[in-house]
Amino acid sequence: MNNSLSALARALRGPIMMATLGGLFAIDQGGGYSFSSTWPVLIIVFGLMKLAEAGLPKAPAANQGGL
């Protein structure tokens, strides 16, 4: 497998942000918390995804050599 978990987290960031955005609007429309109250969730999710990118192992550099 050529992809690292870090790259996966980075690629998933957009779709997860989009689904979160839709979820917040759905909550707003359903009569729960309004989007004006819940928008910081987007920042938190973005932060978590960046954290995951940084924390998960990156792909080993090609031709690193050595034992």
Partner 1 sequence: MRRGSVVFPFILIVLGGLFLANNLNPSLSVIGLVSRFWPMLLIVWGALRAGEILFTYLQGRPLPMAGVSGGEWFLAVFLSFIGLGMMGYQRFAPVFPGRFAMRGMEIFGEPFDYPLQGKASAVGATKLVIENLRGNARVVTGDVTEVQVSGRTTVRAISDSEARRTFDKMPFEVIAQGGQVLVRTNQERATGDGRVSADLDITIPKTMGVEARGRYGDFDITGTSGNIAIFSDNAGVRLQEIGGNVTIDLRRSDVVRAVNVKGTVEIRGRGDDLELENIDGQVTIVASYSGDINFRNLAKPARYESSNSNISFERLPGFLRLARGELVGAKIVGPIRITSKTKDIRLSDYTNTVEIDVDRGDVELRPGKAPIFKTDVRTRNGDIELALPEGAKMDLTATTQRGETMIDYPGLRTNREGQGGTIKSITNQGPAVQMETKRGGLTVRVATGSDAGEWVDAPAPPKVSNAPAAPGAPKPPAPTVPLKVQQQ
Q: Which residues bind partner 1 (CB under 8 A)?
A: 1-3, 7-8, 10-26, 28-31, 34
Residue 54 structure tokens: 């940084």
- Rank residues 24 and 67 by Cβ distance to partner 1 and give the closer one: 24
Q: Which is nearer to partner 1, 18 or 48 (CB)?
A: 18
User: What gap in Å lies between CA 67 and CA 47, rounded to an integer?
Assistant: 36
Contacts of residue 66, defined as CB under 8 A and 6 or more positions apart, other chains included, come to none
Closest CB 41 distance from partner 1, rounded Å: 14
* Smallest distance from partner 1 to CB 66, Å: 25
**Chain mean position to CA 27:** 20
